[in-house]
Amino acid sequence: MRGLRTARVTALVASAAVALVLSGCGGAKVGDTGAASSAAPAASGSGGGGGAECGTFNIAINNWVGYEANAAVVGYVAERDLKCKVVKKDLKEEVAWQGFESGEVDVVLENWGHPDLVKKYIDEKQVAVDAGLTGNKGVIGWYVPPWMAAKYPDITDWKNLNKYADLFKTTESGGKGQVLDGDRAFVTNDEALVKNLNLNYKVVYSGSETALITAFRQAEKQKKPLLGYFYEPQWFLSEVKLVKVNLPPYTDGCDADPAKVACDYPPYELNKIASKKFMDSGSPAAKLVKNFTWTNDDQNLVAKYITVDKLSAADAGKKWVEENPDKVKAWLAG
Amino acid sequence: MSTATTPTARDGGDGAAGSGTPEPVEVGVVVRGRRRLTTAAQVAVVLVVWIVAWAALRGTHTLPLAPSDLTSLHHSLNDARDWVDDNRNSSPIFLYVFNEIRVVLNALSQMFMNLVAVPPEGAQFPRLGWLGVVALFTFVATWLGNLRVGLLTLVGLVFLGLQGLWVPSMETLAVTAAAVLVALAIGIPLGVLAGFNNRFDRLITPLLDFMQTMPPFVYLAPLALFFGIGLASAVITTLVFAAPPVIRLTAHGIRSVNKATVEASQSLGATPGQTLRGVLLPMSRRTIVLGINQTIMAALAMVTIAALIDGPGLGKNVIKALSTVDVGTAFNAGLALVVLAIVLDRTTTAMALRSEGGSHTQRHRSPLARRVEQWRRPLLGVGAAITLVAVWLSRTYVAYAEFPFTAGGTWDLGRHVRRGADSVTTWVQDTFPVLSEGLMTWVTRGIIDPLQALLETSPWWLTSIAILALAWILGRWRATVPAVICLGLMVWTGLWQDSMITLASTLVATLLVMLLGVGVGVWMGRSDRADAVIRPVLDAAQVLPPFVYMVPVVALFAPGRFSAIVAAVVYAAPVAIKICADGIRTVSATTVEAAVAAGSTTSQVVRKVQLPMATPAVTLATNQGLIFVLSMVVMGGLVGGGALGNDVVGGFTQRELFGKGLAAGLAIVLLGIMLDRVTQAASRRVGRPGR
Amino acid sequence: MTDQQQRETESVISVRDLWKVFGPGADKVPRSPELAALSRRELIDATGCTAAVRDVTFDVAPGEVFVVMGLSGSGKSTLLRCLTRLIEPTSGTMMFGGQDILAVDARRLRELRRTKFSMVFQHFGLLPHRKVVENVAYGLEIRGASKAERTRRAMEVIELVGLSGYESSYPDQLSGGMQQRVGLARALAVDPEVLFFDEPFSALDPLIRRDMQNEVIRLHKEVGKTMVFITHDLSEALKLGDRIMIMRDGAQIQVGTGDELVGAPADDYVRDFVQDVNRSHVLTLRWIMRPPRPGDPMDGPVLGQDVLVHEAVRAVLAARKPARIMDSADNLIGMVGDEEIFGVITSTETVAAASSRPVTVAR
């Protein structure tokens, strides 16, 4: 019996060894005969010569669909036209910025402000640079589901919010109306706004974008009142056209002191951030990043391909690029 | 812990007499009943005093801290992080230690990745194609386990392919393999040491508690700072969470080896090394394999978390699907994780049984089983040959290298899974909101709010005194000393009030978990059929990433504390139910028989015999339930749970909140350790069973 | 010098003033006369220490079966573990074949354990994952014996203990008695000078236990090893022991042969202990004879003083005359009549005359 057990161990070792030996000799017979396979990852692209120029192009992917649309398009163009080896890394914003310093990330393709990170990595450490605007206009504000805007037309004026505060009461808002915020990563002045506009509301954190979207989706479906923080461009708006509540209009400098903010959010010009080393490297991808710019509609279209048509990000990007050769040509020119 | 082993080691010879007879049990129940009543009365007194004092003092000394305010501790933690950030390119620790670790781990995990998941540099396919992987795993499972788990492996792996998730599944497998391998390489020796050496055991236990309860969100970003973005960080993240089980269980296994056998070996003049190799390791093999099993499960649970720092595999599919609120896709990926987990779990369990039984149990088996055992070797030989051929094929033909999956084809099972999950969630979300909102409002206003008000708005010192008094009543010094330390440190984190809010939710969630645990546990413990049906569901619920059920929970209960509690209950209840069911099951059949013979009704049997005798299991279930609920605090933060969960998420997403997030993570650990020590001490004192 | 050397060659094991104290500052207890004088209970109250073995002194002669007997908690198992240093004694000396065991280093100690003494355990302590033959060979294996050699030796011993045919079984396939035979075989396999038995048969049922006791007696006759045997069963002690040491609360109460214990208990504790023993099976005529009186008939049967009482009953009663007890030189040393015989059989009378006899008679 002991013999049997020994035999078992021996055979286990042997089978592991076989696996390793086989893996070690790396015969590429599949590669020789199976050229027909289309699914081979693009990374190993057959035209190796072109790849040398661009090399590896590391795109950080932040976890929202609009961002992924940008990355899908830029990535596809870099791969197809510049023969780059595109590596996409799924990262939270802050970790992505950390990557500029270590060279693990070349570019962040849609940046929403983040003054703290700008200060640290662009101003202080000087490892990242602003690579220009994406052309997308970010809008942040308070929104209600469309059925409410229809039923209570005057709700879109902030002055009437206190009138409706009772509607927005929840178990979480402690007897006041609820303003549902998202993830703590979002740029938000909401607590100051509630205080400074004397609103009978309380800011409640839903904790994540997913929870926020789900809450709005249910609110529209079940005709439940909901007031919450939201933003454009966002794919969800093509599913449910949330209506923005007009806070006191933004004027230059009205948000200078975060504690005293009493005006709407400024319009955000979303930009690209890139590693300084990468921008200085002369890689053709750096030029592509600098030139890349498109509109909210463009991004929303790609986002729709992903969310509604259920294309993979890569396929969605490919589709848009093939449909818009002129815009792409402009990115590659100059 | 060390003192507890002495009495158990001794009772082997003498007390065989009275355990089966009903009288001692009856006595035990009565005695314990009386003692519990007085304990309960004491607890009630403390609570009443607390509430009265609260009514007079509420709102004072509550140590509040606004969401964006920071204490000096939080600032100094931020500074520490910045120091690391500034020095990671120059400090020798980084250049020669962390970077080396990183290189090794990257190479190791890259090797596994190239073997099964991603093509090596310049190649077109991974070294083993899908057919090779399926054949090899099936063969190994049959070899080390048995034919049944072999078949399960075969079906499971092919199912992953048909879900359209072959590559991410293999990535998950590769990273898990790397992390588990390192966990074992470190964990088993440490476990052996802890098994031998009480002092080391005491030293390492809080550290392990820390590793298991510290929310990964807290160390995710710093790890990426230390070890870079990529495989190494993913492996280490997984390692932190997954190594403790194998360390604990190895130590436990070593400790519980029959003392006489160890003495026998020593008395024959064996060196410690010989005793370890010849006696301790072989005799604790089953427990160690169980530890390996737990480590694998824990590693799989980290897959979704690691995806936040680019950890490869199914976690990415889950996270991506959530950004588009695509429940079907998230569920499909979650299901793949469940399938992987079940295959690995059953295989390692079968290995444990085989290693324990060896081949000598065959004498007790049926002739048929013996014949199968006889044919095992030749069959395995044939299997090995087939495996070799399959491996060769998978390296030669594209069709066997790349899983032949066509999206939307007849065999696209993923499509059916997605659609099914989507329509179920839609139906649930559309049908139940009225009901679910009623429930949510009722529980929130009726239970959570009052409890939270008491904890949140009592002066901190009043709450502390009350908690310490309860700890004293329930567990004397053993509970009170850790509670003092933990409460003190909680004040120090600057997050006292958030901690109390989280504590309130935690207690409510644990209460619900225990209601489910005892209710369903009794049912499962008494009915084999219920057990057979429910257990797989529980297994799945335990492994399914909580991210997957986040959307329906929020849809039903709106973002808020109740949603957080529901998510925690879904996650923690399976463990509690299983432990309770096993506890009920192990109640001696003779005792139950005696009770029935005495004319007890079913409910009397349950209440007067089975539950009291399963007290150790129920207390263990409460303890584990608490810990599991606490480990969901951060997840709860993602669905509106607020308080510490929110602080941790904030620390992960906003640079200047890092220190606060870390402090919040610490506060969660402290809550966990405090609740664990108090419940353990309480079970030791109050729940000591009349075995 | 010569005196000591002689004693060392005479006894295999020689224990002097052995203490084992558990607890904080344990080593202070034996050194302090006040503390050493306290009872076990008082010592716990005073210092928190438990004295498991208190000031024990004895010698074991070559080939002797020395039994240590006591109730649970009397310290007998701790004593045995001290002898092999599985537990380190707190103070005292232990000589083994002229060597101070307490002075040897770990390496030498292992050497001793591998070659000189081996142990049989109450709960067997077998390795469940190894076959019988591998269990028996374990001691040889850790010594580094070749596989062929240890298998050969193991098979010999297996035959010796009557387990032939079971060598390929696993322990859990055997009955308790057979498992203990494996334990015995494992201990014998290394051919030790001394065998230590730690309540080896207390986990077995009575019939098996008797078998195993006979087995030990048989083995003792065949291999003639010195044995130290721990038990809580007096009849086992009387059956196996050449000499018996009775322990209570860690201290030795009395050391002597079986008939000495029964015939001359050192105190009430021992007396209590031996009360239910069938005295006629333990006592010899020496313990009950009375001095010859004038007028005693001198034609009764002649018996030796070492004849057991129950063996003499028939002869004495049949003769209707008191038996004459002669020593080896045929001198009349006493008489045993009906009265004395009945006194033992009905156990009404303690053997008053004997209680003054010295109890530490070395054989």
Give the tens place of pLDDT for each residue, B167-204.
Answer: 999 999 999 999 999 999 999 999 999 988 889 999 99
d(CA A271, CA B265): 72
d(CA B198, CA B180): 26
C-alpha distances out from residue C12 to A285, B466, C65, C97, Å: 90, 65, 12, 5
Give chain B's length: 691
Count of B-C CB contacts under 8 Å: 83
Strand partners, C58: C15
Report whether pLDDT(B26) > 60. no
Percent of chain A surpassing pLDDT 90: 23
For residue B110, the Cα-to-chain-centroid distance in whole angstroms is 27
Give the sign of the dihedral formed by CA B601, CA B603, CA B609, CA B610.
positive
d(CA B142, CA A272): 53
d(CA C174, CA C164): 13
Q: Do B260 and C112 touch (CB under 8 A)?
A: no
Give the tens place of pLDDT for each residue, A88-127.
Answer: 888 888 888 888 888 889 999 998 888 888 888 889 888 8
Q: Do B441 and A44 touch (CB under 8 A)?
A: no
Q: Is C31 exposed, middle or buried (CB count within 10 Å of its CB: 0-12, 13-18, 19+)?
A: exposed
pLDDT band at B473 (very low <50, low <70, confident <90, very high): confident
DSSP state of B641: -
Minimum CA–CA partner of A2 in chain C: C130
Report whether pLDDT(B15) > 80. no
> Where are the domain boundaries for CATH 3.40.190.100 in chain A?
139-260
Higher pLDDT, B129 or A106: A106
Which structure tokens are listed for B643? 């308080």
A34-52: average pLDDT: 38
The crossing angle, in degrees rounded to 10, of helices B528-543 and B327-357 is 120
Give the tens place of pLDDT for each residue, B562-592.
Answer: 999 999 999 999 989 988 888 888 877 777 7
Report whether pLDDT(C9) > 60. no
pLDDT of residue B7: 33
Mean predicted lDDT score pLDDT of chain B: 83
pLDDT band at B153 (very low <50, low <70, confident <90, very high): very high
**B606 at A interface, C-beta within 8 A:** no
- For residue B598, give the amino acid letter: A
Report whether pLDDT(B350) > 80. yes
d(CA A15, CA B142): 13
pLDDT band at B17 (very low <50, low <70, confident <90, very high): very low
pLDDT of residue B311: 86
Higher pLDDT, B6 or B211: B211
CA atoms within 13 A on the CB side of B86: 9
pLDDT of residue B268: 84
Which structure tokens are listed for B268? 């024959």
- Contact status, residue C335 vs residue C303, Cβ threshold 8 Å: no
Phi, psi of C290 (to 5 degrees): -110, 160
C-alpha distances out from residue B602 to B580, B599, B605, B606, C113, Å: 18, 9, 5, 6, 58
Q: Is the bond leading into A233 cis (omega within 30 degrees of zero)? A: yes
Chain C residue numbers with beta carbons less than 8 Å from the beta carbon of A3 are none
Q: Do C121 and B266 touch (CB under 8 A)?
A: no
pLDDT of residue B24: 37
Strand partners, C308: C284
pLDDT of residue B192: 92
Please state which CATH number belongs to domain B117-429: 1.10.3720.10
- Contact status, residue A260 vs residue A293, Cβ threshold 8 Å: no
Strand partners, C91: C19
Which structure tokens are listed for A284? 């053709």
Q: Do A12 and B143 touch (CB under 8 A)?
A: yes
**C55 at A interface, C-beta within 8 A:** no
Which structure tokens are listed for A158? 């902030």
d(CA B303, CA B297): 10
List the single best residue of B347, B563, B654, B662 to mutate versus A (max A Cβ within 10 A). Answer: B654
Question: Residue C238: which of C208, C261, C270 has the closest Cα?
Answer: C261
Shortest CB distance from A18 goes to which of B125, B380, B388? B388
Report whether pLDDT(C363) > 60. no
C180-184: average pLDDT: 88
Shortest CB distance from A29 goes to which of B388, B396, B558? B396
The terminus-to-terminus CA distance of chain A in angstroms comes to 76
Give the tens place of pLDDT for each residue, A216-232.
Answer: 999 998 899 999 999 88
Report whether pLDDT(C132) > 60. yes
Chains that touch A (3 or more CB pairs under 8 A): B, C
Phi, psi of A202 (to 5 degrees): -130, 140
**A184 at B interface, C-beta within 8 A:** yes
d(CA B372, CA B358): 15
Minimum CA–CA partner of C132 in chain B: B360
Minimum CA–CA partner of B647 in chain A: A184
pLDDT of residue B230: 81
pLDDT of residue B361: 47
d(CA C169, CA C132): 6
pLDDT band at A19 (very low <50, low <70, confident <90, very high): low
- Contact status, residue C122 vs residue C158, Cβ threshold 8 Å: no
Give the tens place of pLDDT for each residue, C51-91.
Answer: 889 889 999 998 899 999 888 888 888 998 888 888 889 98
Show me where the domains of chain B are located: 27-74+432-687, 117-429
Mean predicted lDDT score pLDDT of chain C: 82
The CATH number of domain B27-74+432-687, selected from 1.10.3720.10, 3.30.70.60, 2.130.10.10, 3.40.50.880 = 1.10.3720.10
CA atoms within 13 A on the CB side of B619: 20
CATH number 3.40.190.100 is the correct assignment for the domain at A139-260: yes
Q: Which of A267-276, B312-321, B428-437 has the lowest mean pLDDT?
A: B428-437
DSSP state of A157: B
pLDDT band at B385 (very low <50, low <70, confident <90, very high): confident
Give the sign of the dihedral formed by CA C226, CA C228, CA C232, CA C237.
positive
Give the tens place of pLDDT for each residue, C262-283.
Answer: 888 888 888 887 877 777 777 8
Query: Angle at CA B413, nearest 5°, toward B408 and B414?
Result: 80
d(CA B588, CA B424): 42
d(CA B312, CA A61): 13
DSSP state of B114: I
- Contact status, residue A294 vs residue A40, Cβ threshold 8 Å: no
* Residue A88 CB partners (closer than 8 Å, separation 6+): A59, A60, A61, A71, A75
Strand partners, C194: C117, C226
Chains that touch B (3 or more CB pairs under 8 A): A, C
Higher pLDDT, B214 or A5: B214
Strand partners, C117: C194
- Scan residues 236-265 of A and list those with Cβ closer than 8 Å to B: 236
Minimum CA–CA partner of B315 in chain A: A90
Report whether pLDDT(A8) > 60. no
3-state secondary structure at position A330: helix
CA quadruple A37, A43, A48, A50: dihedral, nearest 10: 120
- Is-same-fold flag (B27-74+432-687; B117-429)? yes
Give the tens place of pLDDT for each residue, B320-347.
Answer: 888 888 888 999 999 999 999 999 988 8
Give the tens place of pLDDT for each residue, B531-562.
Answer: 889 988 888 888 888 888 888 898 888 899 99
Give the sign of the dihedral formed by CA C113, CA C117, CA C118, CA C121.
negative
pLDDT of residue C123: 83
Does this complex have an ipTM over 0.85?
Answer: no
Chain A residue numbers with beta carbons less than 8 Å from the beta carbon of B555 are 214, 217-218
pLDDT of residue B355: 64
Question: Residue A214: which of B325, B114, B328, B250 has the closest Cα?
Answer: B325
For residue B15, the Cα-to-chain-centroid distance in whole angstroms is 36
pLDDT of residue B381: 85
Chain B residue numbers with beta carbons less than 8 Å from the beta carbon of A23 are 114-115, 127-128
- Three-state SS letters, A205-239: ECCCHHHHHHHHHHHHHHCCCCEEEEEECCHHHHC
Q: Do B561 and A89 touch (CB under 8 A)?
A: no
Chain B residue numbers with beta carbons less than 8 Å from the beta carbon of C112 are 269
> Where are the domain boundaries for CATH 3.40.190.10 in chain A?
16-137+270-332
Please state which CATH number belongs to domain A16-137+270-332: 3.40.190.10
d(CA B325, CA B328): 9
Q: Do B278 and C190 touch (CB under 8 A)?
A: no
pLDDT of residue A15: 61
Percent of chain A surpassing pLDDT 70: 83
pLDDT of residue A318: 92
Task: Give one DSSP letter per residue of C101-145, joined into a string.
Answer: GGGS-HHHHHHHHHHTEEEE-TT----TTS-HHHHHTHHHHHHT-
**Beta-strand pair C99-100/C117-120:** unpaired
**Beta-strand pair C91-96/C13-22:** antiparallel
- Contact status, residue B678 vs residue B483, Cβ threshold 8 Å: yes
Question: Residue A232: which of A310, A146, A296 has the closest Cα?
Answer: A296
Phi, psi of A149 (to 5 degrees): -60, -35
Give the tens place of pLDDT for each residue, B64-85.
Answer: 887 777 888 888 888 888 888 7
Minimum CA–CA partner of A37 in chain B: B398
User: Tokens 């438990």 belong to which residue?
Assistant: C50
Report whether pLDDT(B254) > 80. yes
User: Tokens 């009663």 belong to which residue?
Assistant: C317
The nearest CA of chain B is from the CA of C86 a distance in Å of 7
Q: Is B153 exposed, middle or buried (CB count within 10 Å of its CB: 0-12, 13-18, 19+)?
A: buried
